[in-house]
C-alpha cells in the first residue's frame, strides 16, 4: 500500500484514544479541570460503569463566554502561553488536550456560568470540538461536563471495559483517582456516585490528617503522625506510622496504592521516592521488614514548579525532578 495522509477524523481518533484510554482517564481529566477552576465542591456521577454517562459538576469559576468557542479545540489552553511557562506551572492541566480528546470518543455537553453571567449556558459539542447547539440552563456558578456514549467509535475498547471483572476494576480505579485528588485538598467537598448509589463522599475539613481519615478510617489515621519540613525551596508534609506502634503489619497492605505520594499536589508514582519512604519507615521499625508490604502513608512535597517536569506522558502521573531526591 502506498504511503498516504490519514484523514483528519481518523488521525484525531487514533491520537485521542491514546489520551483518553478509559473511564478513569476521563474522570481524572475532568476533576483536575474542576480543581484548576478553584472548585470547593465537586460531584461525580457515573452510569453504566461510566460508559453510558459521566458527569462532573463543580462550583469553580466557570468558563468565560469569550473562551467557549475554543474550549474543546485541541491545543487551546489558558494555563500556559509558551513552553517556558511550564517552569511556572501551578495547575494540573496545561496541554489543552483533555476536552478535545473526550469529544472525539464521546458525546459531550458543557454547561457553565461565571460570576459575571446572568445565567448559565449549555453547549453541545461535536467530535471536532465545535459547538453545535447552545441553550440557557439553571446551573449556578461553575461548570457541569456531561460525557455520554464513551468509546462509541471504539467498540472493541468499549466491550473490553464493559465486561464484568474489568468494569469492576475500572470502577475501583476511578475510586482511587477521586480519593487521591480529593485527599490532598482538605477544604474540598466531594461526592462520587455510580448508578445513583453513593460510593464515597468527603466533607471539607481543615487538616491533611482529617482529610486522610475520610479515606483510611479512624483506626489507621490515629496511628499516623505528621512530620513537617519547611525550607525556602522545599516543603515536605508526611503522615507516617507512629514509632510507638507495636505491630507495623496492621498498617500495611500488599497494594502500593496505600502509599499516597504527591509532588506539588499532583498524585505521582515515583519509584525512587517510594523506596526512600519505605527505607525510612523500615528503619523506624527495626526488626519489622516490609517485604512485599506497603504501609499506609502520605507524602506531599512542594517545590518550585521549575524543578519538576510533568510533561512526560498524557496522564502526568510520572514526573521527573531536575534535582533528584
Query: Is 95 exposed, middle or buried (CB count within 10 Å of its CB: 0-12, 13-18, 19+)?
Result: middle
Q: Which of 165-179, 229-243, 262-276, 298-312 has the lowest mean pLDDT?
A: 298-312
C-alpha cell at 218: 479512624
Q: Is the pLDDT of residue 58 over 70?
A: yes
What local confidence, expressed as pLDDT, does residue 49 receive?
Answer: 94
Helices (runs of H) and strands (runs of E) counted in the chain: 8, 17
What local confidence, expressed as pLDDT, does residue 73 receive?
Answer: 84
Q: Is the pLDDT of residue 142 over 60?
A: yes
Question: d(Cα 261, Cα 257) in Å, to the nearest integer?
Answer: 9
Question: d(Cα 266, Cα 308) in Å, to the nearest integer?
Answer: 11
* 3-state helix, strand and coil shares in percent for the chain, rounded to the nearest 5: 35, 25, 40
Question: d(Cα 121, Cα 135) in Å, to the nearest integer?
Answer: 6
Q: Give the tens place of pLDDT for each residue, 194-215.
A: 998 999 999 999 999 999 999 9
Mean pLDDT of 272-300: 83
Assign domain 218-321 one CATH number from 3.30.1390.10, 3.90.1300.10, 3.20.20.70, 3.30.230.10: 3.30.230.10
C-alpha cell at 295: 504501609
Q: Is the pLDDT of residue 221 over 90?
A: yes
Instruction: Determine what percent of the chain is predicted with pLDDT higher than 90.
Output: 52
Q: Is the pLDDT of residue 84 over 50?
A: yes
Please state, as a whole number, how many other Cβ atoms lie within 10 Å of the Cβ of residue 48: 15
What predicted TM-score, i.e. pTM, was given to this entire model? 0.86
Q: 7 falls in which pLDDT band (50, 70, 90)?
A: low
Q: 173 falls in which pLDDT band (50, 70, 90)?
A: very high
Q: Which residue has the higher pLDDT, 309 or 156?
A: 156
Q: Which residue has the higher pLDDT, 134 or 70?
A: 134
Cβ 93 vs Cβ 29: under 8 Å: yes
The segment with the largest mean pLDDT, out of 12-21, 195-204, 301-310, is: 195-204
What local confidence, expressed as pLDDT, does residue 70 receive?
Answer: 86
Q: Is the pLDDT of residue 176 over 90?
A: yes
> Of 310, 278, 308, nearest to 294 (Cα)?
278
Class at the top of the CATH hierarchy for domain 8-202: alpha beta
What local confidence, expressed as pLDDT, does residue 93 receive?
Answer: 60
Domain ranges of the chain: 8-202, 218-321
Mean pLDDT of 48-53: 95
What local confidence, expressed as pLDDT, does residue 275 receive?
Answer: 87
Q: Is the pLDDT of residue 87 over 60?
A: no
Q: 305 falls in which pLDDT band (50, 70, 90)?
A: confident
Please state, as a whole number, how many other Cβ atoms lie within 10 Å of the Cβ of residue 100: 26
Q: How much is the mean pLDDT over the chain? A: 85
> Of 219, 157, 183, 193, nearest to 25 (Cα)?
157
Q: Is the pLDDT of residue 291 over 60?
A: yes
> Of 311, 9, 11, 25, nearest to 173 (Cα)?
25
Q: Is the pLDDT of residue 258 over 50?
A: yes
**Strand 234-241 relative to strand 197-202, pairing:** unpaired
Question: d(Cα 16, Cα 147) in Å, to the nearest integer?
Answer: 15
What local confidence, expressed as pLDDT, does residue 216 receive?
Answer: 94
What local confidence, expressed as pLDDT, does residue 6 receive?
Answer: 46
Amino acid at each position: 500500500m502506498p504511503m498516504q495522509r490519514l484523514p483528519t477524523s481518523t488521525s484525531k481518533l487514533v491520537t485521542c484514544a491514546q489520551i483518553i484510554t478509559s473511564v478513569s482517564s476521563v474522570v481524572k481529566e475532568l476533576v483536575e479541570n474542576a480543581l484548576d477552576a478553584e472548585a470547593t465542591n465537586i460531584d461525580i456521577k457515573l452510569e453504566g460503569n461510566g460508559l453510558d454517562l459521566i458527569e462532573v459538576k463543580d462550583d469553580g469559576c466557570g468558563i468565560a463566554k469569550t473562551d467557549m468557542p475554543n474550549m474543546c479545540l485541541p491545543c487551546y489552553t489558558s494555563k500556559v502561553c509558551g513552553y517556558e511557562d511550564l517552569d511556572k506551572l501551578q495547575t494540573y492541566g496545561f496541554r489543552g488536550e483533555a476536552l478535545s480528546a473526550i469529544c472525539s470518543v464521546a458525546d459531550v455537553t458543557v454547561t457553565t456560568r461565571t460570576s459575571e453571567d446572568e445565567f448559565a449556558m449549555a453547549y453541545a459539542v461535536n467530535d471536532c470540538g465545535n459547538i453545535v447547539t447552545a441553550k440557557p440552563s439553571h446551573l449556578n456558578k461553575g461548570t457541569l461536563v456531561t460525557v455520554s456514549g464513551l468509546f462509541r467509535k471504539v467498540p472493541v475498547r468499549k466491550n473490553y471495559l464493559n465486561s464484568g471483572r474489568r468494569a469492576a476494576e475500572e470502577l475501583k480505579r476511578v475510586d482511587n483517582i477521586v480519593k487521591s485528588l480529593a485527599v490532598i485538598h482538605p477544604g474540598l467537598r466531594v461526592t462520587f456516585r455510580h448508578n445513583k448509589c453513593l460510593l464515597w463522599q468527603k466533607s471539607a475539613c481543615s487538616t491533611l490528617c482529617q482529610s486522610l481519615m475520610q479515606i483510611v478510617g479512624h483506626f489507621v489515621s490515629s496511628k499516623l503522625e505528621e512530620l513537617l519540613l519547611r525550607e525556602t525551596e522545599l516543603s515536605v508534609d508526611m503522615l507516617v506510622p507512629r514509632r510507638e506502634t507495636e505491630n507495623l503489619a496492621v498498617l500495611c497492605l500488599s497494594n502500593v496504592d496505600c502509599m499516597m505520594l504527591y509532588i506539588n499536589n499532583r498524585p505521582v508514582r515515583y519509584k525512587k521516592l517510594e523506596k526512600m519512604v519505605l527505607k525510612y519507615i523500615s528503619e523506624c521499625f527495626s526488626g519489622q521488614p516490609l517485604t512485599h508490604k506497603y504501609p499506609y502513608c502520605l507524602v506531599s512535597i512542594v517545590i518550585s514548579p521549575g524543578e519538576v517536569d510533568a510533561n512526560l506522558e498524557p496522564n502526568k502521573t510520572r514526573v521527573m525532578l531536575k534535582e533528584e531526591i
